[in-house]
Amino acid sequence: MVDFIQSFGLLFLLVVTLSFFVKLFRQPIIIGYVLAGLIFNLYLVHGNFDSEQIILLSELGITFLLFLMGLEFDLKSLKYLGKDILISTSLQTLAFFGIGYLFGILFGFSPIMSIYLAIIFMFSSTLLVAKWLEDKKETTTLHGKITLGSLIIQDLFAIIALTVLNVVKEKSLVTILLVPVKGAVLIFLGVLLARYILNRPLRFSSKYPELLFIFSLGICFLFVVISPLLGYSGTIGAFIAGVTLANTIYKSDILHRLKPLIIFFNMLFFVGLGFQIDVNLDRSFFFLMFLLVAVGLVVKPVIIYFTLKRRGYDLKSAYLSSIHLAQFSEFGIIIVAQGVFSGTVGGEMTSLAILAVIFSMVLSSYLIKYDAFFFSRCEHILQILDRFFSRTRKTHSTAIERGANILFFGYYDLSKELYAKFETMGKKVVVVENDPENIELLRKENISYLYNSVSNPEFFAHFHCEEAELVVSSILDLEENKNIITHVKKLNPKAVLIVTAKNVRDSLALYDAAADYVIYPLSINEQHVSVLLEDYATDVNKVIEKKIMEITRLKERERKQKEVLEKTAFLDIDRFVEQTLLRDPIKMIKETLRRKK
């Protein structure tokens, strides 16, 4: 026992050391975990460490990882994605599965092994991509929204894949047909707990941090125990448990209490994967692995780019989104690991999955880091290919009409009163936008718009701003803002130019480029807080008035988004669920009794 604890301490120190090195190169920390397990198993064990214990703990790590995903998964976010992202991601996923499966068959894998290989190929890394977008402050850009939306849908597909693979093992047709029914029962149980049962015990538990910690874990293991009884794996149960707790008002408290423990077991999961990598495989295996990574890094971006272009997205946004989603996902490792634990596939598939995901993440990180450089090199080729895509979005014109007094690059949610004021003043407003969802909002508000992108090389050839008095850009890209400044100042030096920057360096660069004013969101927030504090010190009623105005503005924004979604997107997820499984059971019973009377 003492030897195990000492060996585990040495392993943990190795994890810490490698994690530091990995983060210095801005790579996902899970690479450090896997490398620590691999190095420890190869060079530091010396036969006196029971690696089986770590592997058993790593199985528990999968359960906690899915539980954490459930806690952080927001079902309501699905209804804000829009049909374009949903359709394009679905098409991409099907294409990736087909290519991955064909790759496996061509290289002599069995059908079931080829399916697992296809699953590795299907998904992109949420951990890696979300962190890069956050670091580069691109979460609010169009390609950032597309990428994050695609990742949300992919995560949902991954849960479905995990469920389907669990069902495939069943041999009875009746059992297979009953699986969706049992799944509905499991979901119904989660909704019942979230809406009618958990709130009171959670309210009491929230007074005692230790009790809240234990109670939340109890809900997790409740579903882990129930799920196998209904034909599902414990990991699926853990995910549903997480979603159940996420739909209570205590989500943040639970996440805050449990996250350190979950991160620890997640670490053990990936360390355990390092223990399972077989380095004695022959050269053909490594050739196959590198070929799979190469095919993924080339084919995945191509398919993503073409599907996004077919849905009407502009050239640059489609390209950047495709580059961000080029790698394989940690979810592929999880699904393969589940297959190994269940005995469906052999250990060599684990080695293939782990190494392919790690190498794809490392290489993809540099593609993301230097995405602007790669775009500048590929732009000419993409422009040639772009001629084969017909316009899928109608615009008022192919160029900005002469006579526009106020130009907005990017949609600003300005109030109707302000637009009405512009019209009263005799000012013509035109918005240049490349986000299809914002186009629908502009169309609904009857605001003149042009569906186009500054990155389009033909845009400035038909650019007219001779009568523009004010030009405002919400675009965060430095080079695109510089292009706007150059062309506006060339055609109309008297126009006032207001642009947006994502950091201090870009702000100064834009001032050097002759911008009249630069909006730096962080600086604006600091000024806003300063004004609020000043109002609070002088008259608290001013703060209350601003609060009411802000709530009204946000509700109006949400109302407009919902109206557009009802017209353009699929059925609202909330209404869909309420119309099927999640109808209030108490109301249903009351209605039945009333009818009998």
CATH number for 452: 3.40.50.720
| Contact status, residue 396 vs residue 458, Cβ threshold 8 Å | no
Residue 319 structural domain: 48-381
Distance CA 563, CA 581 (A): 24
Radius of gyration of the chain (CA): 27
Contact (Cβ atoms closer than 8 angstroms) between residue 277 and residue 350: yes
- Axis crossing angle, helix 83-106 with helix 283-310, rounded to the nearest 10: 150
The answer to whether the beta carbons of residues 271 and 15 sit under 8 Å apart is yes
Picking from 488, 519, 550, the residue at the C-terminal end of a domain is 519
Residues 508 and 535 in one domain: no
Q: Are residues 298 and 172 in the same domain?
A: yes
- In single-letter form, the type of residue at position 110 comes to S
Residue 10 lies in a domain: no
Same domain, 297 and 358: yes
Same domain membership, residue 163 and residue 114:
yes
Alpha-carbon distance of 233 to 225, in angstroms, equals 9
| Residue 565 region by backbone torsions, left for phi larger than 0, else alpha for psi between -120 and 50, else beta | alpha
The CA distance from 419 to 366, in Å, is 44
pLDDT by position in tens, the chain (length 597): 557 778 888 889 999 999 998 888 877 788 888 888 888 888 776 555 556 677 677 778 888 888 888 887 766 666 656 678 888 899 999 999 999 999 999 988 888 889 989 999 999 988 788 878 877 878 778 888 888 888 888 888 888 888 787 766 666 666 667 777 888 888 889 888 888 888 889 989 988 888 999 999 999 999 999 988 887 878 888 989 998 998 888 888 888 888 888 888 888 888 888 887 877 777 888 888 899 999 999 999 999 999 988 887 888 889 999 999 999 988 888 888 878 777 777 777 888 888 898 889 888 988 998 888 888 888 888 887 777 765 544 443 445 566 778 888 887 655 556 667 777 787 888 888 887 777 777 887 788 888 877 877 677 777 777 778 888 888 888 888 898 888 888 888 888 888 888 877 888 888 888 888 888 776 565 555 555 555 545 565 665 666 566 567 667 766 665 665 555 444 444 444 444 444 444 454 445 445 544
Instruction: Answer yes or no: is 193 within a domain.
Output: yes
* Same domain for 495 and 373: no
**Residue 1 domain-assigned (yes or no):** no
**Residue 244 in domain:** yes
pTM over 0.75: no
Are 182 and 209 in the same domain? yes
Residue 306 covered by a domain: yes
